Structure 1
Amino acid sequence: MSLLAVGVSHRTAPVALLEQFAMGVPDTVKALHELVESDHVSEALVLATCNRVEVFAEVDRFHGGVADVSRVLARQAGATVEELSPYVTVHYEDQAVAHLFSVAAGLDSMVVGETQVLGQLRAAYALAREERTVGRALHPVAQRALRVGKRVHTDTGIDRAGASLVSVALDRTESRIGDLAGRTTLVVGAGSMGALAASTLARRGASVVISSRTTASAERLAESVGGRAATLVDLPAELAAADVLLTCTGATGLVVGTDVVAAAMSGRTGRPLVVVDLALPRDVDPGVAALPGVHVVDLALLQGERHGALLQGERRGAFPEGERAGADGGPLPASVAADDVAAAHAMIEAETALLRAERQAAAVAPTVSALRSQAADVVDAELLRLSSRLPGLDARERAEIARTVRRVVDKLLHEPTVRVKELAGVPGGTDYAGALRALFGLGIDAEVDPEAATLAEAVTGDPGTHLDRPAGSTP
């Protein structure tokens, strides 16, 4: 069994495609069960955020696993595997572990060092546990990822990069209308992102109004930030008075239409409105961006600015002034020291090595157990045969013969079983367990399914593109 990570993220896919992957809890539950019911996936965890949809799975074959996961992702996006292939990333074993650890630490986020993804990973793991789609293989991987993410944020200064997309979006907002202190801000959505947005706005001195489909949730959040709640029915009137509209609901359709915003703008006498849409799929009708006096800040804009900064830095042979290369090659705010990022990477590398050793030791354990079980069966059979051939032996003699035979077998097996456990921790070490299985007839892995390999190739495409192949695998 091997760990596989397959998915799309802001690094490879445009926001328009990420919108197609938007998953609520029911969608995620359906995907989890589809995955573990497929031919090659035994355990699965789905991390779905506004920046990524990635599947971390325990699979029995690389190509078959990629094919199974890709089918589920394609179904969720309403696309074919071939259409999806240019945007998919595939990581395998150590690369998959290191990637998950980087995600948990905020090193792979649109805003390097953000902390929200750690909570999202925790929720994804809890859901997978509740649905019983994680087991002995993925439990330690997910738990280690959560510990690594927390440790990186605790032991380095990487948090200074910014708490989340909310901070970056509000910085962009202030560049449009100035300081938010004293400004009226309307937050639509009272979930985790809404709570983060509301608390961030309150810290910046804004007057916060919370609106949500659930009145009780809006009231609780409003009270916690010293704001007030409003019903969705009052949205047009509240919008007319607001300087900023920030939406982050979990709705699957549009929440704020162009007509609503146009009506709110009609009586503002030129006062601008900034619309911050951090939902995926988007909450606000794209047509709002064309209205006079309305400035839209959404995920597509933030992604475009990030890529623009990258291109500008590449043309100059350096990153924009005040920035340096981030974990994924993207710009990193100057407030994050290079040694903080280096320290984070060192932690991830060390933790990946530790987990590799643990997983490899666990991988050879069944071989060692099977070998000793086989030896015990042989000993028992031979002692039984001896008993029938020498019926005159008394109980003491039989016991002594049995102890002697078992000591001989234990001594013969001691060195190979100890060595195979030691060698499991070195690169390619599990090959020794395979040799042991072959030599003692304990079972040999089957060949790769050609059809699954062909489909996996359609996903991975050209070797080296968005792909970490297992050592020794063929394209």
Structure 2
Amino acid sequence: MSLLVVGLSHRSAPVSILERASLPSDTQAKLLQDSLAAEPAAEATVLATCNRIELYADVDKFHAGVAELSTLLAQHSGVGLEELTPYLYVHYEDRAVHHLFSVACGLDSMVVGEGQILGQIKDALALGQDLHTAGRLLNDLFQQALRVGKRAHSETGIDRAGQSLVTFGLEQLAQDTEVEAWARGKRALVIGAGSMSSLAAATLARAGVAEIVIANRTLARAERLAEILAEPGGTGVAARAAEMVAVGDELGRADIVVSCTGATGLVLSGDTVEAAAEGRDEPLYLLDLAMPRDIDAATHRIPGTRLVDIESLADASADAPMASDVDHVRGIVADEVAAFGAAQRAAHITPTVVALRTMAADVVASEVARLEGRLPGLDDKQRAEITQTVRRVVDKLLHAPTVRVKQLASEPGGAGYADALRTLFDLDPETVASVSRADLNDADVKNRGRV
């Protein structure tokens, strides 16, 4: 089996395609279930963010896997396969590992170095675990990606090379003014109460806005976020909740609007924004972090407004971050990819080595039993000494070749050593497979407890 990733992102596709291809959580679950039902995939999980959709799978056939995963992405995204295909990228084996590790470090983000992607990778792994579609390979891969991402952020200044999408968006709204000076005293409306909206609300509160209104389809979630923001131990900002039906009224009182919901249609139409902007002395600032977009793109043309959305953020993020930090992180990724590949190749041969040692132990037990039948007069001490001697001989004979074969298997091109070992010692394939299944079950239990 081999690792394959098929996906699209802000680097390969225009925002208009990403908007249409976005996957709600229930669609992600169906995509994973259908991926396992497809013959080439043994395990799968999906990484879906506002600017990327990537399907990771363990497949037994490359070309069949690419065709099947591409078709599934098209079916579940609602974008036709012919239209979607030019924007898809494919990574296989070590290149797939390299891609995910780069994503985890923020090297592939719209804003280089942003750390929110780590939480999204964690969520992708948790989804695969909850649906039992992520097996040993994807558990190991995503767990390691999280560790690599954390290492990059702790050992380098990649955090300073870029900012979170929220901070970057607010900086674009503020233009040449410091965000704190620009936001101080303004009234903010945050639409949505998910992780991105919560981050936006907290960022605005720290920047010194006078009031924050949280609007959400589930009022209880908006109320909870408002309570957290207003707590003395939190930001202490004046915060309150509002129902979505009141967004139009709240828009007329707001100076800054940040929207990030999971809605499939527009939350703010051009007419609604135009009505709220009419007669204002100061511009109405709008930040749309949703994919698909929450705010009508026509807002760009409405006088008295300034809209920053995912598309304009992509254009603005072309400025190069600190080159030395990026180079350092790239070095970390390269080292970690090599280490992960070696560990996976070594793990691949372990069931064969275990099966060989099990067979050797059975041979020892059989020969000792035969000896006891031919020499019934042996006492317990003699029998124990003979048994221990035979075991030592077998262990010494197997030690050097099994240690060496593990070393060879961990090197590039070492996958064939497991097959050679099975052939040389005529090992039962079902015995090897049973060791693999037991190892997989143990790994699944262990990994589920680590997320």
- Report the equivalent of 1:246: 258
The TM-score normalised by the length of structure 2 is 0.82
Q: How does 1:117-266 map to 2 (within 5 A)?
A: 117-175=117-175, 179-207=182-210, 208-223=212-227, 224=229, 225=235, 226=237, 227-266=239-278
Shift of the alpha carbon at 1:109? 0.3
Shift of the alpha carbon at 1:151? 2.0
- Report the equivalent of 1:6: 6
Shift of the alpha carbon at 1:22? 1.4
CA distance in 2, matches of 1:164, 1:144: 22
- Report the equivalent of 1:394: 376
Shift of the alpha carbon at 1:262? 2.4
Shift of the alpha carbon at 1:381? 7.2
Give per-residue Cα distances to partners, 1:164-188, cap 9 Å, x unaligned: 1111211111129982222222111
- Report the equivalent of 1:115: 115
- Tell whether the 8 Å contact from 1:31 to 1:72 is kept in structure 2 after alignment: yes
Shift of the alpha carbon at 1:15? 1.1
- Tell whether the 8 Å contact from 1:104 to 1:148 is kept in structure 2 after alignment: yes
Moved more, 398-407 or 371-380: 398-407
Q: Cα–Cα, structure 1 residues 395 and 365, in superposed 2: closer, same or farther, change >3 Å?
A: farther
CA distance in 2, matches of 1:2, 1:249: 36
CA distance in 1, matches of 2:81, 2:425: 41
Give per-residue Cα distances to partners, 1:416-442, cap 9 Å, x unaligned: 322210112211122222333344455
Shift of the alpha carbon at 1:375? 5.0
CA distance in 2, matches of 1:374, 1:79: 53
- Report the equivalent of 2:303: 292
Q: Cα–Cα, structure 1 residues 109 and 375, in superposed 2: closer, same or farther, change >3 Å?
A: same
- For 1:273, which of 284, 287, 300 is the aligned residue? 284
- 2:183 is paired with a residue whose SS is coil
- For 2:326, which of 332, 341, 352 is the aligned residue? 341
- Tell whether the 8 Å contact from 1:36 to 1:44 is kept in structure 2 after alignment: yes
Letter in 1 for 2:224: R
Letter in 2 for 1:394: P
- Consecutive unaligned residues of structure 1, counting only runs of 5 or more, are 310-330, 445-475
The TM-score normalised by the length of structure 1 is 0.79
Q: Cα–Cα, structure 1 residues 428 and 392, in superposed 2: closer, same or farther, change >3 Å?
A: closer
- 1:54 is paired with a residue whose SS is strand
Superposition CA RMSD, Å = 2.8
- Tell whether the 8 Å contact from 2:161 to 2:325 is kept in structure 1 after alignment: no
- Report the equivalent of 2:441: none
CA distance in 1, matches of 2:330, 2:151: 12
Q: How does 1:321-400 map to 2 (within 5 A)?
A: 331-333=319-321, 336=322, 338-375=323-360, 392-394=374-376, 396=378
Shift of the alpha carbon at 1:118? 0.9
Letter in 1 for 2:267: V
- 1:137 is paired with a residue whose SS is helix
Calculate percent identity across the aligned residue pairs: 52
- Tell whether the 8 Å contact from 2:198 to 2:225 is kept in structure 1 after alignment: yes
Shift of the alpha carbon at 1:349? 2.4
Shift of the alpha carbon at 1:379? 6.6
- Report the equivalent of 2:35: 35
CA distance in 2, matches of 1:149, 1:371: 38
Shift of the alpha carbon at 1:271? 3.9
CA distance in 1, matches of 2:150, 2:30: 29
Shift of the alpha carbon at 1:394? 2.5
Shift of the alpha carbon at 1:110? 0.4
CA distance in 2, matches of 1:368, 1:291: 70
- For 2:420, which of 410, 432, 435 is the aligned residue? 435
Letter in 1 for 2:201: A
- Tell whether the 8 Å contact from 1:111 to 1:164 is kept in structure 2 after alignment: yes
Letter in 1 for 2:262: G
Shift of the alpha carbon at 1:11? 0.9
Higher relative contact order (CA 8 A, sep 6+): 1
CA distance in 1, matches of 2:62, 2:265: 36
CA distance in 2, matches of 1:440, 1:229: 70
- 2:263 is paired with a residue whose SS is coil
- Tell whether the 8 Å contact from 1:20 to 1:76 is kept in structure 2 after alignment: no
Moved more, 392-401 or 370-379: 392-401
Higher helix share: 2
- Report the equivalent of 1:314: none
CA distance in 2, matches of 1:375, 1:146: 40
Letter in 1 for 2:258: L
